[in-house]
Structures are given as C-alpha cells and as structure tokens.
Chains A and B, each alone.
Chain A
Amino acid sequence: MTAGTLGRPRGRQSKPWPETWVAAAFVAPAALVVLLVVVIPLARAAWMSLFDIELTSPGVEPFVGLQNYITQLTNTDFWDSVSKALFFTGVTTALELSLGLGLAMLMDQPLRFRWLLRSIVILPWALPTIVNALMWRWIDNGTYGSLNALLAQTGVIHDYVPWLSQDSTAMWMVVLADVWKMTPFCAILILAGLQGIDRELFEAARVDGAGSFQIFRRIIVPLLTPIILVVVVLRTMEAFKVFDIIWIMTGGGPANATQTVAIYAYRTAYQSYDFGQGAALGYLIAIFIMLLAAVYLKLLRRTGA
C-alpha cells in the first residue's frame, strides 16, 4: 500500500512527497469507500427524478424534465411538511446542542461518580430508535401512559392528557423523544472536543480576572467552534430527514401535525408507488439541507470565530 511507503522515510535526507500527492493518497481510500457505493444510487435517483415512474403503470415512463420538482414545489402538502421538518429541526438541534454543551461541561468537571454519568449518559443513544419510539409511545399514551401517571400522582395535572392525539402537543412529544435520545450524542462529541483545549488558557484567563462564564464565552466556545459546527450540521441533516421515530410514534398524525418531509416522501414514493416523485423529493430534501448548512457556515464566518 502506498501509505506504507509513506510511513517510513529513509532518513532526513530523503525527499518528501509533494503535499498534493500525499493528500491524494490520504483521501483516496475514503473517496473509494464512499463513491463506489453511493455514486450509482445518487446518479440513478437524479435520473429517476426526471421521469414519471409510477410502478402502477409499468413500461410507461415518460421523460418529464423538471415536472416532478414543479409538481412538488407547487403542492401545499409538500410545503406544509417542509415547515414541520424545519420546526422539528430547529427545536431539536437547538435543544440538543445547548443541553449537550451543558452536559459536556458537567462531565468535564472533576466530580466524583462522573464515570457513572459518562457511562450511563450513552443509554438513550444506545437504545435502538425503534424501541425508543415505542417506549415513548407508551409513556405518552393518553389512557395508560406513565407520563400521565407521574404528572397526575404529583398533582401537576388532574385529567390524563392525550399527548399524541392533540395537534398542539404531538410535535412536542416527538421532539422530546428525539432530544432525549440524541442529546448524549452532542454531549459526548463536545466532551471529546473539550479535551483538545489547553487548560493553561483557563488559568491565564483567571489570573486576568475572568469569571467562569467569560471563560466559557471567550475561550471554550471559540476553540470548540469546529466541533460545534460539525455537530450542528450532523444534527440538522439527521433531523431534517427524520423518519423512523415519528413514523412509529405518530405516523405523521394527528391530521398531519407531525408529517415531516421525509414522511411525506415515504407516503408519496413507497406507499403510492410513485418513484419519480420520490426521487425528486429526495433531491429537494438534500437541497434544503445544503441551504441550511450554507446558512450555518455564513453565520459562523460572520461571528468571526
């Protein structure tokens, strides 16, 4: 392997490879692993999105150009599902990031029993989504759910609340389930990022009279920016594409109150055999995610991190 020859230069005088070559050798394996698998499906989905491919009319697949995209972009159900997805994405990402940041700071403190927290904190993340969703479905149940039992027994509510049946609360319940599961994800990745920060900077700042909050704002946040950015982008992507957890908890209901764009795409493509539209929806979702990512990058550059 090329990397092996790079590993052992025969002494100081041997001429190093040009940086571009080294980079090519470093990036090539990853590019191969990703591209070999993904490129064909990506290209095929792009191609499919230009045709009217309905499984219920086999053999008839007329080229329709951008018609599938236009159909969706002029469909109120599509925009409704996009706004649901944006809401879900905004709320979960903000909550998971801020709670995860707090949790990471906490786990970073020299406290006794923090090994317990650091091991257990992964529990929600380790629980398979399918179990997580069904667990929350039971907890939130309006007739025998344990959340209602807890709130009723502590006197917070008098009558059981059908959390998943009201369009005012259903979305918040799926947000809760997602935040519970994915906050540890943010916390652990940020905790790892914190370890890269030179603690002597804190001492120096303290000597200069900085308080804890100032250290957090002036030192920790700027130095963590690369990691926080990645975490935010990853969470945004996953949240905007969210499917399993909502599908299992509410199926998009009640009355489409939790029908995010991936659920809408699933109903359109898979349940209704309309693969041309499904592929177009896939690309529209990707475009939205790219726009969101671009906005983050802009904001971060502006704050001058």
Chain B
Amino acid sequence: MTIEQGSSGRTVGSPVVATAAIHRKPITPRRVARATFLYAGMVVALLVVVAPFSWLVISSVADKADLLTKPLEWIPAHISFGRFVDLTVGSSVDETAQGFRAAIMNSMVIALATTAVGMLVGTLAAYAFARLRFPGRSWMILAFMATTMLPPIALILPLFQIMKALGITDTPLALIIIYSSFVTPYVVWLMRGYIETIPRDLDDAGRVDGCSRLGVLWRVIIPVATPGLLSTALLAFLLAWDEFLYALVITQSNASKTLPVALNDFIGRYGVDFGRLATGGVIAAIPPVLIAFAFQRHIVAGLTAGSVKG
C-alpha cells in the first residue's frame, strides 16, 4: 500500500456518494460543489492522519534493511507479523515483551480509574462553577487551573518523596492518585465550558419539575452534555495513558510499569529497536481507537439527537 493510495481511496467523493448523502434536498450544482468540497476535505484529513501512522505500520512488519533502500520502496520486500506475535503471545523468556504485556494491563487499570475519579469529582465541581453562585467562585476556578501550571520537573522530586513515605511507590495506586489530581482540574474547566453552552432554561424546567440540584445535573445536564462528557473522558483517559515522567520515577517493576515506560525500555543505550517500538506503538494505539470507535456516534448527540445523521 502506498501512501498516495490509502485504504480510504475508495471513498473519494464521487458524485453518486455525495448526492446520496443529501438525498433529502433537491440536487443543485451548488450543493454538488459543496459536497465535493466536503468529501475532498475528508479525504485530505484522512490521508494526513493516516500517512505517518501507516509508516509506523510498515516499520512494524518490515525488516529494518527494507526501510533503507534508496530510492525508498514503500512496500517492504519481507513482511512479517513476528513482532506482533512476540509482544502479545510470545515466549515468556522475553522480559521486555513480558513487561509490555504487564504494562498494557497496568495502563488500562490506571487510565480507567483515573478517568472514573476525575470525571466523577470534576463534573460535580464543574456544575457548581457553571450554575451556582457562591463566594470565591472566580478565584477558586483559577486556583484549580493554577495547580497544573508547574512543569512536572519541578514537582517530581517532592511527589516521589510523598509516595515513598506512604510506601506506595511501584504500585498502580500511586499513579492513579497522581493522575487523578492532575486530570481533575482539566475536567472541571472543560465540563464547566460544556455546561455553560447548555441553555439555562433546561435547568429551570428541571427545577420547576421538582428536581434537586443533583437531580438536574443527573437528569437534565448530563444527558445533554453527553458529547462533552465523553470527549472529556477521552482526554482524561489519554492523559493517563500517555504520561511518562511521573510513571518513570514512580514505577520500578512489572507490578506498576505503564505503557510509555515499557515502550521506553525498547530504547537501549545507543540503539532504538525501531521495528519493535513501532509495533508497540501500533498496539498501544488500538485501545483508545476502539474506545473512540465505540463512542464516536455519541460524541455527536446532545441537543441534536434525533435529527438527521450521516
């Protein structure tokens, strides 16, 4: 597969496809032009997203020597999925692969737990900041954000000392605690933003129906804010999924090592096992993409639910 002809090539906006999407309205030259423009934009977007990633996929299945021909041959001469096998079900002697498998589980647990904690406490606070009036509201929201403004380099040593004093270094719990505290301000800010875009009339209607504040949040706001909720949750998940520096310092063994740390182990003193790293990267990207695939329709819901979908 060359980069010029990605798998998306088949979807190129032919008039048939384009007009089918807007069949409810009369076909005018203007509408056809607009649809062509939009489909062209979609194809470009897909190509830009997929092209660098496809290089990673090529690297993961090719012999390194095949990546070095000049002029470059985009289809490697030898294709092998051996690295995927090694990393997922390979022999138990391979400690780096073992570490990688343990890391997927650790990262999954840590990212899900962080997302759960962050979303729960963050959304509650966000609702208060968006809808309630109370003293200290404006400085408190700034204070939340201010806690995330220091670079990790400045905080890592004290954080390590605290975790060591608590005796929880090298446990997933330590990272869940740290990540939750860093994710929560993001959730507060984002969810406040989403809730503010929702008309207040909806709240008032809920209040008139006898809902408590929590009831309004639960029954009125959250259903409408589902797109924001899901995309914020995605952000929380990926922050925890991708964090490196704290994980590097806090983890010591397969009991808590996360994906970025395990991937970093593929880098030797002078050498990067690029094929293996590419394989690990492709595998690491799969869970978030599956999550996005599962929720993509619901990210576009909210007020427009029930209207025409593509």
Contacts and interface: CB of A to CB of B under 8 A. Distances in A.
A and B touch in the complex (CB under 8 A): yes
A113 B182 CA distance: 36
A300 interface: no
B193 A144 contact: no
A262 B245 CA distance: 13
B149 A118 contact: no
A40 interface: yes
B61 interface: no
Contacts of A27: 124-125, 128-129, 140
B158 A44 contact: yes
Given A123-B285, A127-B284, A285-B149, A195 B302 contact: yes
Nearest to B281: A131
A237 B228 contact: no
A167 to B, nearest CB: 24
Interface string A178-194: 00100011001101110
Contacts of B242: 128-129
A190 to B, nearest CB: 9
Interface stretch (A56-64, A71-79, A147-155, A251-259): A147-155
A276 B301 CA distance: 50
B197 A234 contact: no
B177 A19 contact: no
B263 interface: yes
B278 interface: yes
Contact of B288 (A34, A125, A129): A125
Given A33-B121, A127-B281, A275-B157, A109 B260 contact: no
A26 B128 contact: yes
Interface string B41-60: 11001101110110110010
A286 B150 contact: yes
Contact of A41 (B155, B198, B288): B155
A150 B3 contact: yes
B38 A109 contact: yes
Which among A112, A150, A241, A286 has the greatest number of chain B C-beta atoms within 10 A? A112
B1 interface: no
Given A12-B210, A30-B184, A45 B154 contact: yes
A18 to B, nearest CB: 9
Which among A6, A27, A237 has the greatest number of chain B C-beta atoms within 10 A? A27
Interface in A220-237: 223-224, 226-227, 229-230, 233-234, 237
B146 A116 contact: no
Interface residues of A, number: 111
B253 interface: no
Interface in A44-62: 44-45
A103 interface: yes
A97 B240 CA distance: 23
Contacts of B241: 126, 128
Contact of B303 (A45, A144, A198): A198
Interface string B130-156: 001111010010001111111111110
Contact of B280 (A41, A131, A224): A131
B181 interface: yes
B251 to A, nearest CB: 14
A163 to B, nearest CB: 14
Given A30-B184, A116-B46, A199-B307, A270 B235 contact: no
Interface in A89-111: 102-103, 106-111
A19 B89 CA distance: 56
Given A122-B292, A192-B231, A117 B45 contact: yes
A70 interface: no
Nearest to A41: B158
Contact of B244 (A127, A130, A180): A130
A283 B159 CA distance: 16
A22 B137 CA distance: 13
Contacts of A215: none
A20 B274 CA distance: 56
List the 9 shortest-distance A-B pairs measured between CB atoms, nearest first. Answer: A282-B154, A131-B281, A149-B72, A126-B288, A37-B181, A196-B197, A195-B302, A30-B125, A26-B128
Interface of A: 3, 6-9, 11-12, 16, 19-20, 22-24, 26-27, 29-38, 40-42, 44-45, 102-103, 106-132, 134-136, 138-139, 144, 146, 149-150, 152-153, 180, 184-185, 188-189, 191-193, 195-199, 223-224, 226-227, 229-230, 233-234, 237, 241, 243-244, 262, 265-266, 269-270, 275, 278-279, 281-283, 285-286, 289-290, 293
Given A37-B177, A127-B53, 10 more contacts: A26-B127, A27-B128, A110-B21, A111-B21, A122-B289, A127-B285, A131-B56, A188-B234, A192-B232, A281-B153
